[in-house]
Structure 1
Amino acid sequence: MKIGEILKHINTSISFEFFPPKTPEGEDQLFRTIKDLEKLNPTFVSVTYGAGGSTRERTIRVVKRIHEQCNLTVMAHLTCIGHSKKEIYDILKGYKDIGIQNILALRGDIPQGQEESFVFPPDGCRYANELVSFIREQFGDYFSIGVAAYPEGHPESPSLEKDIYYFKKKVEAGAEFAITQMFFDNSYFYRYMDLLSKEGINIPVIPGIMPITNFRQIEKFAVMCGATIPKDLVEKLEKVENSPEEVAKIGIDYATEQCEDLLKNGVKGLHFYTLNKSKATVEIYRRIKDLIK
């Protein structure tokens, strides 16, 4: 089913993101997680795509396996950086051939360590709006296309206003919905939505939620993507960082409060960055399920 169409007919979407594991053992663990989360009847699930296409084959394999073995709507992430248009077309054609209808179209990150030497393919897409346009040109309305949104602005953007300018170009190119980068202060999301509204942008924007269960790991992610972790939350976590159970408890409590506030303010859905684990997400869902309409 197409996510863009689903979002038109439901009040609140619940979705989960996974990454393609490096080993068969990791993949087995992932599918145990998926089985746990499948019981929550998510609107859709998504599978990430590594920097510069580094997980290309693993992403395709996991997407295909979820599509064939699980009763779930699955969305494949696709980054254009490092790919020629021919390679992008072949990936999309492969997804179409097996019945995948949902793509999260991303520019993607330059592989670590190649920031200065990276060369863009001459026949490729340098930006996400170009990728969205290419998908529409080649496949029409077959794919439902989602894109990324950055409530605090993309780390490479000179300003939030400039970032929204480029977000609008993705929408004009044919994006139907968006999922935000993780954030930990809801005020950034509400400000962002107000700015989008002023620009006449009204596609569904789903908040991305990252439950903190490993403080230093999430702290690194936050630095990479430009997400602010509130000072009082950092102080709480630093006091217990040597106790994984206490870190997880604080992280789950905080994410629950964040989700409750978002749901009470009428968000279109919640997208959980699971890190291929189910415990925290299942617990948060248990606490907020009565608020999901």
Structure 2
Amino acid sequence: MFPTRVEIIPTAGIVDTVAAQLPVGSTVTVTCLPHHGIERTMAAALELAERGYAAVPHLAARAVSGKAQLRSILADCASAGITEVFTIGGDTQQPAGPYACALAMMRDIAESSGGTITMGVAGYPEGHPAIPAGVLLADLAAKAELAAGITTQMCFSADTINPYADALRREGIELPVWAGVAGAVPRTKLLALASKIGVGTSLRFLSKKASLARNMLGGERYQPEDLIDGLSPTAIAGLHLYSFNSLATLPLPALR
């Protein structure tokens, strides 16, 4: 049984939905999508923290205008009792400020917070469509000095996630790895959102696996239980459930 986190999209009314579906104290991460901006992410995270959830806002480096805004975000986190953020580069074409990548922002977070904020980073078991594998690994190794954990991109095979975690350890990256897994999401919703939230690579991978494709595309909902059962407790620290705000049907083995 794995500890589990739930990722939400900061749409209107989602905090009320979280309160109705998830126990107080659960860890809830809040995405930062290009068309939403970091302000919406922080507003949802602060409200979740106020209601007693362990909120983890996603900070997209390219969405942050500079050190002043970053310090303001960190001050808001401190006031709300938020002690963890998830750092990513972001998908906007033009950075809003000096941060073109997550690493530069992470260094400023570490300096400004004095180590009171822990940081998660992204991992890519299936690779990244725009970044070579060697560059991804070197970038992750550099971030590992500042990070507290790795959350993988959404995957549909334990045989992809387990070897990835093992390979990182062989490279000397000892951070805990959280397996990125889709929740029991309606098939049509997952397919419709794929291109918007960066799941295209995983879905292309899925299409090559006939049995998985039947599971995904043949029913009304994708069911992640078989994948979860295949995860290695020695390789994986926990589950990161991509909910797409479909919270009522999530598999929640142990929320933390």
- C-alpha separation in 1, matches of 2:48 and 2:158: 32
- C-alpha separation in 1, matches of 2:109 and 2:187: 38
Task: Give percent identity, aligned residues only.
Answer: 23
What's the TM-score, normalizing by structure 2?
0.85
SS in structure 2 at match of 1:104: strand
Check whether the contact 1:30–1:277 (CA below 8 A) recurs between aligned residues.
Answer: no
Larger Rg: 1
- C-alpha separation in 1, matches of 2:168 and 2:2: 20
- C-alpha separation in 2, matches of 1:216 and 1:151: 25
Q: 2:7 aligns with which of 17, 21, 24?
A: 17
Q: 1:182 aligns with which of 154, 165, 168?
A: 154
Q: 1:65 aligns with which of 33, 38, 47?
A: 47
Distance 1:262 1:146, change over 3 A: same
Give the match for residue 20 of structure 2. Answer: 35
Give the match for residue 130 of structure 2. Answer: 156
1:87 aligns with 2:69: yes
Structure 2 matches for 1:1-293, cutoff 5 A? 12-21=2-11, 26-27=12-13, 30-38=15-23, 42=26, 44-51=27-34, 54-70=36-52, 72-82=53-63, 83-110=65-92, 115=93, 118=94, 120-121=95-96, 124-158=98-132, 160-172=133-145, 174-211=146-183, 213-219=185-191, 221-222=193-194, 224-225=198-199, 226-227=201-202, 228-229=205-206, 230-238=209-217, 240=218, 246-248=219-221, 251-252=222-223, 255-262=224-231, 267-281=236-250, 284-285=251-252
Distance 1:19 1:236, change over 3 A: closer
What's the TM-score, normalizing by structure 1?
0.75
Q: Which letter does structure 2 place at the counterpart of 1:233?
A: L
SS in structure 2 at match of 1:182: coil
Aligned residues, how many?
Answer: 247
Check whether the contact 1:106–1:128 (CA below 8 A) recurs between aligned residues.
Answer: yes
- C-alpha separation in 1, matches of 2:234 and 2:148: 22
Superposed CA offset, 1:62-115 (max 9, x none) = 111111123x211111111042222222222222233211111111111xxxx4
- C-alpha separation in 2, matches of 1:140 and 1:56: 22
- C-alpha separation in 1, matches of 2:76 and 2:104: 20
Q: Which letter does structure 2 place at the counterpart of 1:20?
A: P
- C-alpha separation in 2, matches of 1:265 and 1:222: 30
Query: Which consecutive residues of structure 1, in runs of 5 or more, have no partner in the other structure?
Result: 1-10, 241-245
Higher normalized helix content (fraction of residues): 1
Structure 1 outlier segments of 4+, above 6 Å: none
Distance 1:191 1:220, change over 3 A: farther
SS in structure 1 at match of 2:74: helix
Distance 1:59 1:222, change over 3 A: closer
Superposed CA offset, 1:218-240 (max 9, x none) = 245556342121333324544x4
